[in-house]
Amino acid sequence: MFKEIKNKYLRYSLIFLFFIIIFFSALQLNFLWLFGYSPSVRDIKTPTLRVGSELYTSDGKLIGRYFKENRTPVNYEEISHSIINALVATEDVRFYKHWGIDAQAVGRAVIGLGKDGGASTITQQLAKNLYRTRYNKSQGLLIKIPLVRTLIVKLKEWMTAVKLESNYSKNDIITMYLNTVSFGNNAYGIKTASRIYFDKEAKELSTNDAAMLVGMLKGTSLYNPTKNPAKALERRNVVLAQMFKYKYLSKDSLAELSKEPVKLKEGKMQDGSDGDSYLRAAVAKYLEKWATDNGYDLYEDGLKIYTTIDSKLQKYAEEAVAEQMKTLQRRFYSVWGNEDPWYDSEKQKVNYPDRAMKNLPIYALLQKKFRSQPDSVEAYFNKKKRMQIFTYKGDRDTLFSTLDSIRYYGKILNTGMMTMEPASGKIKVWVGGIDHKFFKYDHVNQSKRQAGSTFKPFAYLTALEQGMSPCDKFTDKPVKIAYQDKGETKYWEPKNADYSVTYQEMSLRWAMARSVNTITAQVTEKVGWDNVVKYAHICGIDSHLESVPSVSLGPNDVSVYEMVKAYATFMNKGIKTDPILVEKITDQDNNLIDEFKPKTKRVLTEEIAWLMTYMFRGGMEEPRGTSQALWEWPNLFKKNNQIGGKTGTSSDYVDAWYMGLTKDLVTGVWVGCDERTAHFKNGEQGEGSRTALPIFAKFMEKVYLDPTSGYTYGPFPKATVEITRTYNCPSPQFVRDTTTTDSVVVDSTEFIPEIPETVTPTAVEPEVKKEEKKTEPVQNQPAIAVPLTKKEERELKRKQRQEEREKKNNGEN
């Protein structure tokens, strides 16, 4: 068709134009995968800035961020004019005149006269930042040809720049550019850079601030003011000179500003944007499948994630944990002094540091390297080096060897705490440990530990499910239970707290409240330990449970998360509710992307659930109930408030638990060392009522004393269905001033001794405040009703027999 054109110049021009069109079309379409990816019209209209996602509490407090590139976008109106002027003067003086490609600059670059910067415009740089046009993964088969590759990359940037100019205003383009560009030190975007270098908002930047930041764009390392202040100053003044040249500055202003030194003020982004946390990691895990299924990236898609966490309750929980754990750590050091706390269940000393050292990957490598030089291996682990360690007064720099570190952290107590609304399934509190920086392991959902007596309620639930009532009675007496183990008959003989029995009849409610091991064992034998396991799983325990005679005493490992979920089933009228950690997710413009609702399933009748709640109240209401240490916090019992709960302690006081119930919330707390052979010596020091229960008490006290918390005093709800079982069966009341604690092995009746003020130090012990002795009397605390001691009971029975004989004799007479 071109042969018909007589004018050869016109003909050649049209042929050239035709091939240019064909070439650009092939470039755009990635013909035969020769040219690589080019952004489509849809990509242009919905650009991704690779913005990190933000994590919020349910009440809108920013508590964390996920990002690969630390950036937070801003609008044009939020940017200082000095930044705009400095950028245009230095990088693209004809920005407001060209249409994405500066023909004059290209011409000057081709003939070697480019003195005012390169030919690449701000729009082209934006195209490169947004669409990664120079990344190898964006290239096609022609990438291997050097000159062709350069040409293709440049042409694609031109095409993308033109598309951007045709879809966005100049202000939009320069805003997107400033939101995407890197300023070094993991600061992406002008908002982040302004905060990190000057602790200012982008709108507050001075001319000199702006000149320094724009100057860094030529080389974020070379002109970084924190690393190369002299180079940064020199480059800043070059930018100021450019601003003067293009009439953005007067001569006097240039002279004055150029004399000023670089003034930095290190800042941080909003609360929650720095570092990591247990909650941030838990949410990432929680949304892992959701993100995959829905094609989102938490680290680049700029999501706003609204958790179910209540910022006030979370704060109160963290405060309660910090207060109690300081006290417990001090108690732990006081108990052990210079003695190592690592002993197994047979009370044999354990060389924990040596075992932990040999489990390190580096140990095996050193063993191979120094096969005949064991001293060299030992020297490596004993070599002192500077490191930062955790203390209760903040991080501390010290000289520690690897073995020092192992010994130090092997004596640190840790905790996990979770609070949930049983009706809504919303998790309101998540405390995964004492310090995420040093202890990454989350003790809410990652750690699984022996549940101790907090598992006993599942035995009593099974009894109710099999037709018993809270008033059915069993006798506290010696128990010997036969069971089969690999075809062999074996016997289990559970012991009570003080290794004695009272021979007293107790209702199921009283026995659960007192946490009597012998009665729990009898109940378990009667209902069947397989059934106890079944109902634990039905209520929400997901972990594998060994079905053994002692299952109700909590030898199996479970998580705080599971226990809270299971206990919430009782409080939610028998409806098991899978806890939710996220309520909703929106985009940057607050458009709703997804909402989250809990999965629910009725697993118990309302009557059984109400009866279990009534049983839990026994911890406070029954004689020697194991929750009665809560009376030490009288603020918990105003306005007819009711609290139910269950303490738990595993064998040898390794794991301590408290499960606390109110009309609105279910809270689970675990306390112990990550190293299981480290533990307290006796129940007075390490039982659940003395370690985990106070965390719950202090937390709830703070919640109740805050009228804005949204959680109020009050009794448990009345039954909404007919209760067909007998439940109102008061236990014998023998008033005596005492209390109780709870354990699988020990149920002590003594208060803990006062902790000495002096703590025997270890290598570098975590700093804790002196434990304050309570001097104020507890107001309105009722006398706690307890049964007679063994001696008192024998005397009572003797008198009763004597009275019966006298009555009989009187009757005969």
pLDDT, tens digit, for every residue of 238-269?
999 999 999 999 999 999 999 999 899 887 65
Q: What confidence score (pLDDT) does residue 129 get?
A: 77
Give phi and psi for 188, each to the nearest 5. Answer: -110, 130
3-class DSSP assignment, residue 658: strand
Which residues lie across from 592 on neighbouring strands? 586
Can you give the pLDDT at residue 104?
Answer: 76
pLDDT band at 184 (very low <50, low <70, confident <90, very high): confident
**Residues whose CB is less than 8 angstroms from the CB of residue 539 and which lie 6 or more positions away in sequence, other chains included:** 458, 461, 565, 566, 567, 569, 570, 576, 603, 604
Q: Please check the confidence at residue 71 and state whether its pLDDT lies above 60.
A: yes
Q: Record the tokens describing residue 437, joined without a space.
A: 């920086």
Q: How many CB atoms lie within 10 A of CB 359?
A: 10
> CA distances (Å), 481 to each of 494, 518, 526, 549, 725, in order?
9, 10, 11, 8, 29
In contact, 64 and 279? CB cutoff 8 Å: yes
- Tokens 């105003």, located at residue: 638
- Highest-scoring range by mean pLDDT, 369-373, 531-535, 765-769: 531-535
Query: Higher confidence at residue 123 or residue 607?
Result: 607
* Residue pair 557/446 in contact by the 8 Å Cβ criterion: no
SS3 757: coil
pLDDT at 430: 98
Written as one string, the DSSP assignment of 70-92 is ------GGGS-HHHHHHHHHHH-
pLDDT in tens, 554-585: 999 999 999 999 999 999 999 999 999 999 99
Per-residue pLDDT, 678: 96
What amino acid occupies position 301? D
Confidence of residue 778 (pLDDT cuts 50, 70, 90): very low
Is the model's pLDDT at 379 over the cut of 70? yes
Give the span between the Cα atoms of 693 and 10, in whole angstroms: 92
Neighbours of 451 (CB within 10 A): 35
What does DSSP assign to residue 556?
S
Local confidence band at 744 (pLDDT 50, 70, 90 cut-offs): very low
Give pTM, 2 decimals: 0.75
Contact 747, 683 (CB under 8 A): yes
Q: What angle do CA 398, 404, 409 make, to 5 degrees?
A: 90
Highest mean pLDDT of the ranges 36-40, 290-294, 301-305, 471-475: 471-475
Pull the structure tokens for residue 105: 């600059």
Range in 16-30, 102-116, 338-352, 632-646 with the lowest mean pLDDT: 16-30
pLDDT, average across residues 269-294: 81
In angstroms, what CA-CA distances link 94 with 102, 127, 558?
7, 17, 66
Domains defined for the chain, CATH in brackets: 34-259 (1.10.3810.10), 343-410 (no CATH), 415-526+554-581+605-705 (3.40.710.10)
pLDDT band at 180 (very low <50, low <70, confident <90, very high): confident
Nearest CA-CA partner of 773 in 330, 380, 298: 330
pLDDT at position 232 is 94
- The predicted model gives 214-224 an average pLDDT of 93
Residue 115 has pLDDT above 80, yes or no: no
Section 290-319 average pLDDT: 94
pLDDT level of residue 779 (50, 70, 90 thresholds): very low
pLDDT at 630 (0 to 100): 97
* Structure token pair of residue 176: 């997107």
- Pairing outcome for strands 655-661 and 666-673: antiparallel
Average pLDDT, rounded, for the chain: 84
Higher pLDDT, 770 or 603: 603
